[in-house]
A and B are shown apart, each in its own frame.
Chain A
Amino acid sequence: MYQTTDILVNETANDPMGQMVINVGPQHPATHGVLHLVITLNGETIQKVEPHLGYIHRSIEKMCESLTYRQFIYVTSRMDYLSSHINNHACALCVEKGLQVEVPERAQVIRVLMDELTRIASHELWWGAMAMDLGAFTPFFHAFRERETINDIMEETCGARLTMNYMVPGGVMHDIHPNFQKRVKDFLQLYKQKIHEYDELVTGNIIFQNRMKGVGYISPEDAISYGCSGPVARGSGVSCDVRKHFPYEIYDKLQFDEVLETAGDSFARYLVRVKEMHQSVRIVEQLIDNIPEGDFQAKTKAVLKLPKGEFYQRVETARGELGVYIVSEGGTTPYRIKFRSPGFSNLSILDHMTRGSKIGDLVAAMGTLDLVIPDIDR
């Protein structure tokens, strides 16, 4: 399957006695979940990384086939639990596409606000976990302080902190809480006060820079051919933001930049995510005072039935492009659902990007892929 002969690191590469197989995971703190990596080493040099999946497989796609179009959306919160709003958003959009429902403008603005807040929260958790992977524990708490504020906002409006199930076909489940705008503004103020700490602690730190620069290089061609999306591809200079290229909801009316870095290494991917947080804050600032009046939910039938056919919708989650593909036979439940999750494609490049590098760089390269294992292993 794998040709180890094409990477002649030194003379012992072909010698089976010189090789060593190491299992990282399924219970390993650096894999952030139950990911199992089988690493073939020659000394300290990585020859092959083989991810083994299946430890958290819950057959979500199959489960969705037995649930109605209203019911299946809650399951998708459990895929990429850090951007559960955006997962629900993708499913709601896909069902709306089939139903031909016009979503009220207020609901669209609330959805985009929630998406961007989720994106900030997700990137903040990644930022803390990334620093922890590289050996610093304090940044984790700094990141969680701001993330906690977002979680409180979610808890007040949606009723839950992580698995909200807030987006329903036709709009959102409840109207926003009366305190919502005030609390988001408080968060923005806090974020601006504290964001300099992020750059001081990690971005400008010479240890982090030396560990991340030049590690895990992905060329733009590889990023495209492996199907990478999101910050992983944008760190290599591939313009792939779904919000810009295939705008959904009101993204085409908003002012924000697609963050692109050309270096292609871990540090470039790090910078893309940090800068994306600023862009998300920019979107939230544009919308928070301009939530239009009106309904928060379009009127839909009690029992939803999609017409016979196939429907596809893609959105940009915090990790990349999430696609939802529904095949309907005209009934109340989908005939087939397929999720194109960003994590799976991003993981597939791990072997290619770490071959020939040292084992100490594996975590620095894997951390910037921002893997969420339940998203990979649905």
Chain B
Amino acid sequence: MFLKEYIRNIAGGLKSLVTGMRMTGYYFTHHKEIITQQYPDNRDTLELPERFKGEVVMPHNEHNEHRCTGCTACELACPNGTIKVITKFDVTPEGKKKKAIDKLVYHLELCTMCNLCVEACPSDAIKMAQTFEHSVFDRNQLTKVLNNPGSKIMEGVE
């Protein structure tokens, strides 16, 4: 009785081993089913989906104009204090003072890519970019100013 059980255990173990090795053999001979991506080598062909949340950017048009009004909605929506809006007052040709952004400071090192600032923006001034290779040698480089130097607000954006 004991011997019977012993032999059955050995037979069961061998069967399990063969089943497992059969699958190993299958993938050993079927190279096309391997889906590993060779990441740094395929950088040129790598495509990320358009909704991928990599970092916050402010798109500018060809006249160096953005859509940001300086309303600080993104600053209020951000849970981490990632965005700081520094505003100034422009004088319009009619002699009125108008609020505009001086700098929109973005701390990439604090950002968790939660997308709440993009959702909160009433004038679609900021969006998420698909870049993801953010590592730098100096952490000061992670503090970015999103608006280009000398940029203005686009006509018709209030």
Partner-B contacts on A (CB < 8 A): 67, 70-72, 74-75, 138, 145, 148, 155-160, 163, 165, 168, 173-174, 177, 197, 200-201, 204-207
Contact between B77 and A71 (Cβ–Cβ < 8 Å)?
Answer: yes
Contact between B23 and A197 (Cβ–Cβ < 8 Å)?
Answer: yes
**Hey, which chain A residues are within 8 Å of B115, CB to CB?**
159, 165, 173
Contact between A205 and B19 (Cβ–Cβ < 8 Å)?
Answer: yes
The docked-state distance in angstroms from the alpha carbon of A229 to that of B90 is: 61
Contact between A74 and B51 (Cβ–Cβ < 8 Å)?
Answer: no
Contact between A74 and B112 (Cβ–Cβ < 8 Å)?
Answer: yes
The docked-state distance in angstroms from the alpha carbon of A72 to that of B116 is: 11
**Hey, which chain B residues are within 8 Å of A207, CB to CB?**
13, 16
**Hey, which chain A residues are within 8 Å of B23, CB to CB?**
138, 197, 200-201
Contact between B49 and A156 (Cβ–Cβ < 8 Å)?
Answer: yes
- Evaluate whether A201 and B20 lie within 8 angstroms (CB atoms) in the complex, with A158-B51, A159-B53, A177-B51 already known: yes
The docked-state distance in angstroms from the alpha carbon of A186 to that of B155 is: 46
> A178 to nearest B CB, angstroms?
11
The docked-state distance in angstroms from the alpha carbon of A206 to that of B142 is: 53
The docked-state distance in angstroms from the alpha carbon of A317 to that of B23 is: 32
Q: Which of A148, A159, A163, A201 has a CB less than 8 Å from the CB of B51?
A: A159
Contact between A205 and B20 (Cβ–Cβ < 8 Å)?
Answer: yes
**Hey, which chain A residues are within 8 Å of B53, CB to CB?**
159-160
Which of A71, A177, A197 has the most B CB atoms < 10 Å from its CB?
Answer: A71
> B26 to nearest A CB, angstroms?
9
Contact between B52 and A205 (Cβ–Cβ < 8 Å)?
Answer: no
B1-50 interface (Cβ within 8 A of A): 9, 12-13, 15-16, 19-20, 23-24, 35, 48-49
Contact between A159 and B79 (Cβ–Cβ < 8 Å)?
Answer: no
B47-76 interface (Cβ within 8 A of A): 48-49, 51-53
Q: Which of A138, A168, A206 has a CB less than 8 Å from the CB of B13?
A: A206
- Evaluate whether A71 and B116 lie within 8 angstroms (CB atoms) in the complex, with A174-B51, A177-B49 already known: yes
The docked-state distance in angstroms from the alpha carbon of A207 to that of B114 is: 44
Q: Does B121 contact A (CB under 8 A)?
A: no
Contact between A148 and B20 (Cβ–Cβ < 8 Å)?
Answer: no
**Hey, which chain A residues are within 8 Å of B113, CB to CB?**
159-160, 163
Q: Does B119 contact A (CB under 8 A)?
A: yes
- Evaluate whether A155 and B116 lie within 8 angstroms (CB atoms) in the complex, with A148-B35, A200-B23, A201-B23 already known: no
